[in-house]
Structure 1
Amino acid sequence: MLNNLAGLLESQGKYNEAKPLYERKQGKYDEAKRLYERAIEISEKVHGPNHPDLATRLNNLAGLLYAQGKYDESKPLFERASRIREEKLGPNHPDVASTLNNLAALLQNQGKYDEAK
């Protein structure tokens, strides 16, 4: 709920009001980030660098970073997850569409509308 309010304030240009709301949630995000990174590391060791399970973990970490407004950090993770899913599951798989949707939302929030199409 706080993150939604912070996002609304940010979209209205009220950055000073949004920042404390993001910071309030920061403690949980830091722990979640560590867990996602550990899960990614384990998945890469067990399944290799191109497994759909790894793509799910990359997508989750990207979503966490996206929620924090860390778009530059989340974009390459969404892109990698998308490449893995498309290669392993096919271009019309629902998981590919989900990741592409996440990437498009990120680009839209950055004002990169042509890239988001």
Structure 2
Amino acid sequence: MLQRLSSLSTPPPPVRPGSTRQAAGRTAEAITISERITTKFERAFSSQHPDALTFWQSLAASYRQADRIDEAITIDQRVTRERERILGPAHPDTLFAWQSLAASYRQADRVDEAITIGERVPNDSERILSSEHPDTLTAWHGLASSYWRARRTREAITLLQQVVTGRRRILTPEHRDTAAAEEELRRWSSESQN
């Protein structure tokens, strides 16, 4: 695949390089694959191509999972700047880039920065995508996680309850994102009692 990239006149559809390996817990292998494909793609097309930015954002997520948080933040900051410049601040991919940066800040215990982003992105997402869009619920979930990390327990639990309600209605109770939010809500509620 790496050799074929340079011979294409148009880029292939975006994929998450190494995502299967990452899902299988083989994060180091996923990172190696992601780094190679991202670099090759960027050379073949452009570092400013939206799909190149998608590859970089995927690599940042892999770094975050591997606890290589400084590298994830560096990439997330670059991707966010480039998405805003190329796509504009009101594009769904730009909003997702901000969410990714907030997640990296949260993991690095830069909670104030994560909250600053997190308080803005869900409102922008509601305006651009709608309050009923799954990505809007994901943005609210990210803010709830930042509040939890900042020990703003009551706000975090209240917001996560709203996310669960919304996901049940929009995605169905059986959806994996609904189930994950419900499990997190149970855990937070239990931990807040102790």
Q: Provide TM-score, normalisation by structure 1.
A: 0.71
What does residue 164 of structure 2 align with?
none
Q: Equivalents in 2 of 1:110, 1:41: separation in Å?
A: 25
Quick one: distance in 1 between partners of 2:30 and 2:38? 12
Q: Is the 2:47–2:53 Cα contact (8 Å) retained in structure 1?
A: no
TM-score, normalised by the number of residues in structure 2: 0.44
| Aligned AA (2:89) | P
Which of 20, 34, 38 in structure 1 is aligned with 2:36? 38
Q: Quote the residue 2:54 is aligned against.
A: 56
Runs of 5+ unmatched residues, structure 2: 1-23, 117-194
How far 1:105 moved relative to its partner?
1.6
SS in 1 for 2:33: helix
**One-letter identity of the residue aligned with 1:79:** Q
Question: Is it true that 1:93 corresponds to 2:91 in the alignment?
Answer: yes
Give the AA of the match of 1:58.
W
Q: Specify the alignment match of 2:69 in structure 1.
A: 71
Distance 1:100 1:40 in 2: 20
Q: What SS does structure 2 have at the residue aligned with 1:115?
A: helix
Q: Which has the higher contact order (CA 8 A, sep 6+)?
A: 1
Opposite residue 60 of structure 2, the aligned amino acid is A
CA contact (8 A) 1:78 1:103 kept: yes
Structure 1 unmatched runs, 5+: 1-23
Once the two structures are superposed, the pairs formed by residues 2-21 of structure 1 within 5 Å of their partners are none
Runs (4+) of structure 1 exceeding 6 A deviation are: none
Distance 2:86 2:62 in 1: 24
Report the residue type matching 2:113 in the other structure: E
Bigger Rg, which one: 2
Q: Distance in 1 between matches of 2:112 and 2:28?
A: 32
- Superposed CA deviations along residues 10-55 of structure 1, whole A, max 9, x for unmatched, are xxxxxxxxxxxxxx93xx1122111111111122112222111111
In structure 2, distance between residues paired with 1:110 and 1:37:
22
> 2:41 & 2:83 partners in 1: Cα distance?
15
Q: Percent identity?
A: 32
Contact persistence 2:27–2:65 (CA under 8 A): no
1:105: which partner in 2? 103
> How far 1:112 moved relative to its partner?
1.3
Q: RMSD over aligned Cα, in angstroms?
A: 1.6
